Structure 1
Amino acid sequence: MQLRPIFLLLAIFSLLTQALRAQEPPLHVAVAGISHGHSGWILGRTGKTDVIVAGIWEPDTALAAKAQRQYKLPASLFYTNLPAMLDAVKPEAVLAFGSVYAHLEVTEAAAPRGIHVMVEKPLAANLGHARKMEALARKHRIHLLTNYETSWYPSVHTSLRLAADSNQAGTIRMARFNHGHQGPKEIGCGPEFLAWLTDPVLNGAGALNDFGCYGANIMTALMRDRAPVSVSAVTRRFKPDVYPKVDDDATIVVDYPGAQAVIQASWNWTFNRKDMEVYGDKASLSAPDAATLITRGPNGRPQERKVTPEEAKVYTDPFVYLAAVVRGKETVAPWSLYSLENNVMVVRILEAAKISAKIGKSVRP
């Protein structure tokens, strides 16, 4: 049996397309700072060729030497001068794994060179830094993405999709977010990570910034372009002997016209949790973990199911997502979890929360 010419051409085209995809060049990235405990995500990302680390900037030479040994990396990858590294290796994107305060420095070096940036959450340590970073990204037309673990969760993405459908949840009235763990020292964060994570300038706050940003990020995506009308917050220092400079617990109430979010962020819980509940006037959506979605209608009976990444259409690897954005295969939707406008709003909310906790009054962000 012979293939008709049109089917033969289609078969050849399919084979060529697959071959071209296989030959697509890897994304060359640089790592700016490795003091963040999550830097191992990229330094230890072995066995994959889609993203290649071309250079690593770390001014702490002892920390750089430690990482070199741990991940069996060549010494030639390491630099102590950020601009010099960027000019030498000419990466397509930079991954910031230093202090939150250093995110501005990384963006100031990368943006004028046309280099895209992905930072670990939150976007910036304070609103002044966030505004400067936003201006640099807009001026030089680079992608400035913020990476959260919950941005990889199928349950979160499915909740956002269902919440956006008025026929599913209806009008959103309330959302509750619980993000926290026993505390960074208690779970074994390294000394170089703790040094800035527990510093009010380098991290911007304590648990309020570290975990409050998750709820602010997801609620901003839920509300899209709707800005809060007020933010109220209470912070506590339950363990001043462990964290003498920053809060270790925060409750943030974010009010919108017709809706409200309660964000609980803590370094005091007995276990790690990242969960959320969204209440509409037709149904509620609960994401107790990365893969589980629970819906309740007017009868209150829970319907629980597992959500796969394929169903949710979510990238479970932030570096694969970054490559897709840089290559033009993915468009960062306005107000979506990684987007710049969302994450500037996150810092606005966190900044207002810090002021509110200090003065004991609601603050307009």
Structure 2
Amino acid sequence: MNTTRFSRYIFILLFIAVNSIAVLPAHAQSTSTAPLRVAVAGITHGHVAWLLSRKKPDMVLIGIYEPNDELAQRYAKQYGLDSKLIYHDLGKMLDAVKPEAVVAFGSILQHMEVVEACAPRHIHVMVEKPLATTLAQAVKMQELATKNNIQLLTDFETSWYPSTVKAYELTNDSNYIGPIKKVVIHDGHQGPKEINVNKEFFDWLTDPVQNGGGALIDFGCYGANLMTYLMKGEQPISVTAVTQQFKPAIYPKVDDEATIVVSYPTAQCIIQASWNWPFGRKDMEVYGQTGYVITVNNTDMRLRAEKDAKEHSRVVTAAEVPVYEDPFSYFADVVHNKIKVPENGVYALKTNVTVVRILEAARESAKTGKTVYLKK
């Protein structure tokens, strides 16, 4: 190649490279090593304490939106935060501090407002479970996230569990127990009042509009999320649910006990969600054609396969399975394009739209006393 042709070749390559960079959207993900610039939208969810007290270097808190000034100032004092971080208007906060990402810690109903504000500004969002109170909201949020090319994740405690990931591996990857036939999932605790959640959290958690329901929503969502994950996104064919109020004096507006049966062509899931357990629990039993896997808690498991003479126990840790035990670190790495969210993963938008679809069908079934068949 002569000098002239070589120079022209180099020029063309540089032209393509420069223009390729130029057309990348301003909100495109990068592999930045800088801390994720994150803001909080709402702080009435009791679990916000983890974020406000967090000291890891992968994330920096640059703004807090909360209409309740008394609560905001109380938390600022409690966690040693600068009161200048506090805003009482979500749009003004987003425009002033320009976060890369927002974590929503308000009521479930408020998730819609957060996504409507963040998506057009190309700000990534992670909400606390579940994604939305209604399927219509979930679908709209999905449309906004897709249109504006943002990540929209849903955080569940069981997503941080090494035992959750190991159960998935054993039931799907290594075919340890054969095809799934039945899954029984238990989630809940003694009740929000009984475990002394704060007033701001209690007020919306026990409101049928702000939360979408009681125990059915608060803890039924875990089972719907885990089953959708185990089934690799397969859609159920029907949902049947029964709800009760064992403590109407404490929870007059919502259910405190729920049992949901989710049916698939070749499998069944029974979700037991309750504010009446004697102790807090998040465990599941996965039964396959040739064995079973039981997650006792976040690390302890009980197993038996066809080749085993008897059941055996094991402890699984984050050192042996690919799991983030800190959801904020996961969110930061997703936004900075260090990892990708699996399409049918526990945090994934597609998975969590299905979760809301199951919950809405369960709520309708409990109300009507009839099985609800889902449209494909």
- Is TM (by shorter chain) over 0.5? yes
Deviation readout 1:97-128 (Å, 9 max, x if unpaired): 00000000000000000000000000001111
Structure 2 match to 1:278: 286
State which drifts further: 160-169 or 195-204: 160-169
Q: Distance in 1 between matches of 2:104 and 2:351?
A: 18
Task: Note the 1:84-233 alignment, pairs <5 A.
Answer: 84-165=92-173, 167-233=175-241
Name 2:253's counterpart in structure 1: 245
Query: Residue type matched to 1:232 in 2?
Result: T
Match of 1:344 in 2: 353
Alignment of 1:305 with 2:314, yes or no, is: yes
CA offset at residue 165 of structure 1? 2.7
Distance 2:170 2:129 in 1: 25
Rg (Cα) greater in structure: 2
Q: Secondary structure at the match of 2:261?
A: strand
Q: Which amino acid aligns with 1:108?
A: E
Q: Matched residues in 2 for 1:310 and 1:195: separation?
A: 39
Q: Which letter maps to 2:266?
A: G
Structure-2 separation of matches of 1:85 and 1:226: 39
Q: C-alpha displacement at 1:167, in angstroms?
A: 3.1
TM-score scaled to structure 2, two decimals?
Answer: 0.90
Question: Structure 1, residues 175-209: CA drift from partner, whole Å, max 9, x if none?
Answer: 00000100001100000001100000000000000
C-alpha distance in structure 1 between counterparts of 2:295 and 2:135, whole Å: 30
Separation in 2 of the partners of 1:221 and 1:282?
20
Q: Report the counterpart of residue 24 of structure 1 in structure 2.
A: 33
Report the equivalent of 1:12.
none
- Corresponding residue for residue 14 of structure 1: none
Q: Which runs of 4+ in 1 moved over 3 A?
A: none
**1:328-358 deviation per Cα after TM superposition (whole angstroms, max 9, x unaligned):** 1111011110000000000000000000001
Gaps of 5+ in 1: 1-22
Q: 1:330 aligns with which of 331, 339, 346?
A: 339
1:300 positional shift: 6.1
Q: Which runs of 5+ in 2 are unaligned?
A: 1-31
Aligned partners of 2:176 and 2:305 also within 8 Å: no
Q: Which whole-Å CA distance do the structure 1 matches of 2:174 and 2:319 have between them?
A: 23
Which residue in the other structure is 1:59 paired with?
67
The AA in structure 2 aligned to 1:186 is E
The amino acid that maps onto 2:66 is E
Deviation (angstroms), 1:301: 1.3
The CA distance in 1 between the partners of 2:41 and 2:74, in whole Å, is: 16
Percent identity reads 56
Specify the SS of the correspondent of 1:37. Answer: coil
Please state how far the C-alpha of 1:244 moved relative to its aligned partner. 0.2
Q: Structure 1: how far apart are the matches of 2:146 and 2:94?
A: 20
Q: Distance in 2 between matches of 1:52 and 1:163?
A: 38
